[in-house]
Amino acid sequence: MRPPRRVEVAVIGAGPAGSAIAAALATSGRDVVLLERDTFPRHKVCGEFLSPEATRCLDELGCLQAFHERKPAVITRSRLRTADGAQIELKLPAKAYGLSRKCLDEFLFANARDCGAQAFEGAAVRKVEVGRRQQRRLHVELRDGDDRSDYMVEADVVVGAYGRRSRIDRRLKRPFFDKHSPYVAFKRHHYIDRSADVPPLEDHVELHAFDGGYCGVSFVEQGRVNICTMVERRLLRDGRIDPEEPFQSLQRGDTPLGRRLATLKPCDVETCAVAQIPLSTKASTHNGVLFVGDAAGMIAPLAGDGQAMAMESALTLAGLLHDRLPRVPRRQWSREWRQRFGVRVRLGSWLQAAIIRPAIAGLLMRLLGRFPSVARALVVATRGR
Ligand SMILES: Cc1cc2nc3c(=O)[nH]c(=O)nc-3n(C[C@H](O)[C@H](O)[C@H](O)COP(=O)(O)OP(=O)(O)OC[C@H]3O[C@@H](n4cnc5c(N)ncnc54)[C@H](O)[C@@H]3O)c2cc1C
């Protein structure tokens, strides 16, 4: 099967944002193609923490029951810890969940297809250009096993849902592309020794802050524990983190994180890694392409809200498009995106900058420990509705 030659809407990328907008548009009767470079299932670097807002989006997409059938881990509390032992614990405003990206992304992609979107894996978009009558022309590389072929799709509207950074951004000359990002991230799944003498992890998401980075630890489905860490690149240069064995490096020293990691054994051989994690601001439209999810702007991972934001932005744009197609609502979308997400994204960046500096993190922890209502207000401020 090959994608259609002409469609109303072409969506590039089938992460939570792309699959959500494709499903929503197809449900409302629109002709939509979803093009994904990878093939599912596949791992992805992520803390795999789904905030309560994410479940609202899944409900809106009509797939909340199917989500629960995947038996995600339930998370009701967060525990923040620093290397010197400071700790605060907060009850989350509502139930959150832990589900691997391997499971979530595959399931959302299947949902988009079930809703009527023409969804293709192994379809990498290489270039987007302006075609006749302002339509967009997508150059797609189709992969089938070892075979590769070039293909062309024309669309009235193109939605870029291809994540935080892509070669398409370079071709589109998006200004953020040339800015250097100092972060790298690693993730791996583990089994846990529940008898170990550390605070229980059940129901919790733990966030450990240290000089130059932080590490999230929480359960996902099937009793597995996901560890995901984001660190400044300088830690690799200084030899403090070995990129081959990042979690062993973090286990060094008698710290709460070291003690937590000592209770975990890898169940996946592979550690996933990514570099270039741009938290700088981006425009939510460029050259006639409308962006959703991380492609429009990324919230710092410590907020644990990126997947929810990806789906929320997708559902919001789907609503706008439904009313206006075949017009491309560029200005409305830029305004809407800024109003909904602008403050949250900036606040997330500030919080991240604060917690990876031990002196500021220490002060912040003491402040939040004394005034838990401030901590709760911060959690709410990084959230949407
Ligand atoms: C270290 C780290 C930890 C995080 N932890 C959390 C967390 O715990 N909770 C949370 O909610 N969020 C977390 N996030 C954020 C979250 O991962 C993102 O916000 C979310 O994945 C954004 O979804 P998306 O659909 O916009 O992009 P993505 O999930 O990145 O999906 C983009 C898709 O587009 C595809 N693609 C890319 N280029 C092309 C192309 N040229 N053609 C076709 N397809 C293409 C990719 O293969 C991918 O499938 C974390 C992020 C990082 C970096």
Distance CA 89, CA 80 (A): 6
Distance CA 117, CA 283 (A): 26
Q: What is the pLDDT of residues 144-166, one digit of tens each?
A: 988 999 999 999 999 999 999 99
In the reported structure, the alpha carbon of residue 66 is separated from the centroid of ligand 1 by a whole-number distance in angstroms of 21
With a 6 A CB cut-off, is 35 part of the ligand 1 pocket?
A: yes
| pTM of the complete model | 0.95
Distance CA 225, CA 189 (A): 6
With a 6 A CB cut-off, is 348 part of the ligand 1 pocket?
A: no
Region(s) of the chain under CATH 3.50.50.60: 6-43+101-178+280-381
Distance CA 96, CA 74 (A): 6
Distance CA 140, CA 37 (A): 9
- What percent of the chain clears pLDDT 90, i.e. is strictly above it? 78
**pLDDT tens, N- to C-terminus, the chain (385 residues):** 888 889 999 999 999 999 999 999 999 999 999 999 999 999 999 999 999 999 999 999 999 999 999 999 999 999 999 988 888 998 998 999 999 999 999 999 999 999 999 999 999 999 999 877 778 899 999 999 889 999 999 999 999 999 999 999 999 999 999 888 899 999 999 999 988 878 889 999 999 999 999 999 999 999 999 999 999 999 999 999 999 999 999 998 889 999 999 999 999 778 999 998 888 789 999 998 999 999 999 999 999 999 999 999 999 999 999 888 878 889 999 999 999 999 999 999 999 999 999 999 888 888 888 888 888 888 777 776 5
With a 6 A CB cut-off, is 125 part of the ligand 1 pocket?
A: yes
Residue 158: strand pairing partners = 10, 289
pLDDT for the residue numbered 51? 94
E strand map for the chain: 6-12, 32-35, 49-50, 73-82, 87-98, 118-120, 123-130, 136-144, 147-160, 183-192, 204-210, 213-219, 225-232, 264-266, 272-275, 285-286, 289-291
Question: What's the token pair of residue 361?
Answer: 């993190």
Residue with the smallest CA separation from ligand 1 atom 31 is: 15
pLDDT for the residue numbered 276? 86
Distance CA 273, CA 228 (A): 10
- 204 CB-near residues (< 8 Å, 6+ apart): 75, 76, 77, 78, 79, 218
DSSP codes, 310-361: HHHHHHHHHHHHHHHTTS--HHHHHHHHHHHHHHHHHHHHHHHHHHTSHHHH
User: Using CA of residue 22, residue 25, residue 27, residue 31, what is the dihedral sign?
Assistant: negative
With a 6 A CB cut-off, is 345 part of the ligand 1 pocket?
A: no
Distance CA 38, CA 34 (A): 12
User: Using CA of residue 248, residue 204, residue 20, residue 39, what is the dihedral sign?
Assistant: positive
Considering the four listed CATH numbers 3.40.630.40, 3.50.50.60, 1.10.600.10, 3.20.20.10, the one that applies to the domain covering 6-43+101-178+280-381 is 3.50.50.60
C-alpha pair distances (Å), 120 with each of 25, 221, 234:
16, 26, 39
Q: What is the pLDDT of residues 112-146, one digit of tens each?
A: 999 999 999 999 999 999 877 778 899 999 999 88
**Nearest alpha carbon to residue 27 among 102, 117, 93, 92:** 117
Yes or no: say if 43 and 50 are a contact pair by the CB < 8 Å rule.
no
Region(s) of the chain under CATH 3.30.9.30: 68-100+180-275
With a 6 A CB cut-off, is 246 part of the ligand 1 pocket?
A: no
pLDDT for the residue numbered 385? 53
C-alpha pair distances (Å), 300 with each of 29, 132, 297:
35, 39, 10
- Category of 281 on φ-ψ map: left (φ > 0), alpha (ψ -120 to 50) or beta: beta
In the reported structure, the alpha carbon of residue 163 is separated from the centroid of ligand 1 by a whole-number distance in angstroms of 5
pLDDT for the residue numbered 384? 62
pLDDT for the residue numbered 122? 96
Considering the four listed CATH numbers 3.40.50.450, 3.30.9.30, 3.40.30.10, 3.40.50.720, the one that applies to the domain covering 68-100+180-275 is 3.30.9.30
